Amino acid sequence: MINLKNTPPYGLDDLREIMALLRSPDGCPWDREQTHQSIRRNMLEEAYEAAEAIDEGDPEHLKEELGDVLLQVVFHAQMAQEAGRFTLDDVIDGVCQKLIYRHLHVFAGEESQDALATWNARKRQEKGQRTTADAMDAVARALPALTRASKLQSKAAKAGFDWRDVSGALDKLSEELDELRRAALEGDGDPAEELGDVLLQVYFHTSIEEDAGRFTLDDVADGVCKKLIYRHPHVFGDVSVGSTGEVLSNWEELKKREKHQDTQADAVDAVARTLPALWRAEKVKKKAAKAGFDWADVSGALDKLSEELGGVKAAAAGEGDLAEELCDLLFVTVCACAAAGVDPEAALHANIEKDIARFRRVEELAAGQGKATGPLSREEFLALWAQAKAQLKHTR
């Protein structure tokens, strides 16, 4: 058992100390095992839960969720400090410098009629974008996969990569489903800077709430420190655990008590509505599976997927609600991913990366023929796309 030097209310320095203690040899086995990659999704989920609290307009809920985001920043900074890469102070220094550079109309007397336009212009100068492929590549990889895919499709459509109508897209979907069935049944950036951007959002929202007299950053830090202590009774209390699995089980049980989730429907309803749709569907599916809503193996999920595709084709022909049928197909696709042990967000992002590489190669091939991608006919574009696909397949 570890005794903390300070008592509530806690502050940011206390949060740093608690995280360092949890990662220490006498701390929590689960916290010690974590890496930047293993808790990557946690960072994103906490940000979406904070967004839901903003939508609700509930200051107490927002204070709690901002604390969870802050915890993720401190967690990553602690791991980086242990590896000798950077510290939380480096994160704060970086975001302060960025704020000053992008607000020269405040800190250097520079004239600006449109602060947002100035911010975006300076951001573009930092990033540098010239071609369509550059613009596609610049779409954030941490966006929800469906949102990212939609933004990329919009950019690619401007260069001719699009279907004339829904039937063409459905034919491609059937082709991909056949490939999925065979496969299933046969066998960048500066981390300190990016953490600083997250921390900036915590400070920004907290400043808004402090101006309104609702809560401060110290209140946020105090809340997350209390939560960490309460959910780590094996570190700060007299509870004994034998494995990281037991740590997680205890954590989930304590969390359910806090959230007052008595039934499986309560648990399903509690999944944040602001999560990326694929993640939300996956989490709902996992909770529903505990009540018996599941397939015995991946083949059952694929059979259901084929059934749903038939419904989409019928709706496209005027026999049903196309939007509803497409949503059913998408949800069952997520279920098939779960049955196959595939993270749907990660899978879609991987496919997006592949398509960006193919699009870049198309631009190179078109340039070699003295052409730009924009004026290409659909037939010319698809011919180059097939060529790029074949070339990249052989270079993997």
CATH for 33: 1.10.287.1080
| Per-state percent for the chain, helix, strand, coil, to nearest 5 | 70, 0, 30
Q: What is the pLDDT of residue 187?
A: 45
Residues in the chain: 396
Distance CA 327, CA 213 (A): 42
- Compute the chain's Rg from CA coordinates: 25
Residue 379's Cβ-side half-sphere holds a number of Cα atoms within 13 Å equal to: 0
Report the amino acid identity of residue 90.
D
Instruction: Classify residue 58: in a domain, yes or no.
Output: yes
Q: What is the pLDDT of residue 181?
A: 47
Q: What is the pLDDT of residue 180?
A: 44
Q: Are 362 and 381 in contact (CB under 8 A)?
A: yes
Instruction: Classify residue 62: in a domain, yes or no.
Output: yes
Domain that holds residue 225: 12-103+190-259
Residue 96 Cα distances to 15, 89, 90, 109, angstroms? 21, 10, 10, 18
Query: Which of 282, 276, 342 minimizes the C-alpha distance to 44?
Result: 276
Distance CA 301, CA 326 (A): 16
Measure the N-to-C terminal CA separation of the chain; round to a whole number of Å.
51
Query: Which of 365, 346, 297, 332 minimizes the C-alpha distance to 44?
Result: 346
Q: Are 29 and 243 in contact (CB under 8 A)?
A: yes
Q: By three-state DSSP, how is residue 85 classified?
A: coil
Q: Using alpha carbons only, give the angle 339, 340, 342 rounded to the nearest 5 degrees.
A: 110
Distance CA 109, CA 99 (A): 15
Greatest CA separation for the chain: 73
Instruction: Classify residue 46: in a domain, yes or no.
Output: yes
Q: Are 238 and 33 in contact (CB under 8 A)?
A: no
- What residues contact 236, with CB distance under 8 A and at least 6 apart? 1, 2, 4, 229
Instruction: Classify residue 181: in a domain, yes or no.
Output: no
- What residues contact 289, with CB distance under 8 A and at least 6 apart? 338
Instruction: Classify residue 254: in a domain, yes or no.
Output: yes
Two structure tokens written together for 107? 């800190």
What is the pTM assigned to this prediction?
0.64
- What residues contact 365, with CB distance under 8 A and at least 6 apart? 384, 387, 388
Q: What is the pLDDT of residue 23?
A: 96
Neighbours of 186 (CB within 10 A): 6
Instruction: Classify residue 212: in a domain, yes or no.
Output: yes
Q: What is the pLDDT of residue 177?
A: 46
Instruction: Classify residue 57: in a domain, yes or no.
Output: yes
Q: What is the pLDDT of residue 98?
A: 83
Instruction: Classify residue 287: in a domain, yes or no.
Output: no
Q: Are 338 and 285 in contact (CB under 8 A)?
A: yes
Query: Which of 123, 152, 147, 120 minimizes the C-alpha distance to 136?
Result: 152
Domain tally for the chain? 1
Helix (H) or strand (E) holding 306: helix 298-316
Q: Name residues of the chain where pLDDT drops below 70.
A: 112-113, 117, 119-132, 135, 155-191, 194-196, 290-293, 373-375, 394-396
